[in-house]
Amino acid sequence: MLARRGDALTLALARCRRVWGGVAVFSAVLNLLMLAVPLYMMQVYDRVLTTGSVDTLLALTTLVAATLMVFGLLEASRGRVLTRAGAWLDRELGSPVLAGGVAAALRAGGGVSAQGLRDLATVRGYLGGPGVLPLFDAPWAPVFLGIVFLVHPVLGWIGLAGALVLFGCAVLNDLATRKKLTEANGAAVRSLNAADAAIRNADAIAAMGMLPALARRWGEAGGRGLDLQTAASDASGIISALAKVVRFGLQVAMLGVGAWLVLGHEMTPGGMIAAAVILARGLAPLEQLITSWRALVGARTAWRRLRELTDGGRDRGEGTALPRPVGRVAVEKVGYVPPGMREPVLRQVSLRLDPGDALGIVGPSGAGKTTLVRLLVGSLTPTAGHVRLDGADVTAWPDPDRGRHVGYLPQTVELFAGTVRDNIARLGEAEDEVVVEAARRAGAHEVILALPEGYDTLIGEGGVPISGGQRQRIALARAVFGNPALVVLDEPNAHLDADGEQALVEAVVGMCAQGVTVVLIAQRAGVMAQVDKMLVLQAGAATSFGPREKVLATLRRPAMTAEPAPARSPSP
């Protein structure tokens, strides 16, 4: 059954309700225990000092000491619960958020960073840290204010006036900063995405001296966000300063008016001190909310982006398991319109392949070749028509199941941080023999053995740098790992030398002999000579499809003999 990734966020929140309920109960008990100190002070002033009773002092001190021990244990427990709830939320949502980020990258054709994981860290940091505590403590302000009213109504009215002013400061802070902070957070996200793109293209930036211009453009793009953030911080700082002045003024007013009431014999000195302490404690969460408002807005904005990210599609990880395919491929009047565009890059493309067929796709740059192979492997969903593997729509296959039966070598080859073995095994667990067999089928075994640690050589971040040809041959081994029924190769020989080209040819011949369906895009005649069918794409439409010799005969001689340059920009 298909499950929306967005449901994971709703389910996680629902499962956290009991945790938040427990934290609320802890907060209620903690706020009540906070009354112990002002009540202790009132009893010392009004009973101990007037009677001189040491026994009363010892009893009161023992009682408040025990209360403070319980308070400390509950406070520590509340912090531990929040920390673990934040960590649980991170673990629970990490996979759906990552899946949503990958899906967003596929929809956008790349260029999307791991911002979703940053947003998840922001939410976890807020919900699992002290910044969320004022939300649990602020509802107790009326209780503390009511106790002040019981001590003396005049002090209660003073406290109520101060509470209303602080509440007004909180509302004003929201009105003055919410829009600015939201826009600033969005600008920060775009700035980080631009920085990610710059790091991914470090070679080109360094080689062509683009860093100064890039830094200037990045600074200009991020300047708007910094200006908004500065404006929001300035406004929030002014309001926070006003809140502090109000709180200190309240303390002065409570003590001053309280002293006047004591002199008029309308209340005791202990009541005066207790009322001032209770009011300060009751209004503290309101001031803390104003101070931590920026973190609250950031967490709320991050959660909204997470919702949008995970609502973008369905997680097909739990669908009905289908039997292993034999490699029969059918493309039925497929069309594709990229997001944000009106014109399709593929129009009414149809073809059929039997197990063991080798299809070569040719056409000029921008004809839609790469888009078609991405549809074949299921990384894109057609906007019209169907792509079927053994009769089942590729989008109906659960992703893990389809992945076991499909091998893909994309035009831009990326390997993951880890060992060569990890990359060939697709980051999963596998027997050594299976990994080595995949490398042999790809003609990469000897190349891998020449690396410093062979199959255990670390590559990627902190590992051994490898050449483009080595990367491509390892990626080819990854594509044929697990004996897939369909293997799709997009420019598999772009970085290969003559030996690598020969190994690729032998790999294609071997796969076809074993009944594997192979689809490839290539510009060199060597590997294209091994295909038995060809598809010609022009402006997104299939102008010719059939046996290789028949298709070649329909092409004009210049198109048939010309050999384009090896380096080219990828198709859409």
Rounded average pLDDT over 268-284: 88
Span 359-380, pLDDT tens digits:
999 988 888 999 999 999 888 8
Question: Do the bridges between strand 392-393 and strand 406-409 make them parallel or antiparallel, or are there none, so unpaired?
Answer: unpaired
pLDDT band, very low/low/confident/very high, at 320 (cuts 50, 70, 90): low
Are 138 and 283 in contact by the 8 Å Cβ rule? The answer is no
pLDDT band, very low/low/confident/very high, at 350 (cuts 50, 70, 90): very high
Question: Hey, what's the torsion of the CAs at 488, 490, 492, 494, to 10 degrees?
Answer: 180
Are 496 and 476 in contact by the 8 Å Cβ rule? The answer is no
pLDDT above 90 coverage of the chain, percent: 27
Length of the chain: 572
What distance in Å separates the CA atoms of residue 386 and residue 153, rounded to the nearest whole number? 76
Burial-class residue 2 by CB neighbours within 10 Å (0-12, 13-18, 19+): middle
pLDDT band, very low/low/confident/very high, at 569 (cuts 50, 70, 90): very low
Find the distance separating the first CA and the last CA of the chain, reported in whole Å: 32
Rounded average pLDDT over 520-526: 79
CB atoms within 10 A of CB 227: 14
Are 120 and 91 in contact by the 8 Å Cβ rule? The answer is no
266 is written with which tokens?
């309308």
Say if pTM beats, i.e. exceeds, 0.75.
no
pLDDT of residue 49: 86
Residue 63: pLDDT above 90?
Answer: yes
Q: Delineate the domains of the chain, giving CATH numbers in brackets.
A: 3-315 (1.20.1560.10), 334-561 (3.40.50.300)
Residue 228: pLDDT above 90?
Answer: no
pLDDT of residue 209: 67
Q: At 379, is the secondary structure helix, strand, or coil?
A: coil
pLDDT of residue 445: 93
Name the CA radius of gyration of the chain, rounded: 34
Residue 541: pLDDT above 70?
Answer: yes
CB pairs under 8 A, 24+ apart, for 396-402?
Answer: 396/316, 396/319, 397/316, 397/319, 397/322, 398/316, 398/317, 398/318, 398/319, 398/320, 398/321, 398/322, 399/315, 399/316, 399/317, 400/317, 401/319, 401/321, 401/322, 402/378
For 256-275, give one letter per residue: b (16+ CB within 10 A) or e: ebbeebbeeeebbbbbbbbb
pLDDT of residue 415: 85
pLDDT band, very low/low/confident/very high, at 2 (cuts 50, 70, 90): very low
pLDDT band, very low/low/confident/very high, at 568 (cuts 50, 70, 90): very low
Rounded average pLDDT over 378-404: 85
Rounded average pLDDT over 267-283: 89
What distance in Å separates the CA atoms of residue 453 and residue 419, rounded to the nearest whole number? 9
Residue with tokens 């994309």: 410
Span 456-513, pLDDT tens digits:
999 876 667 888 888 899 999 999 998 899 999 998 888 888 888 888 888 999 999 9
Are 499 and 459 in contact by the 8 Å Cβ rule? The answer is no
pLDDT of residue 199: 66
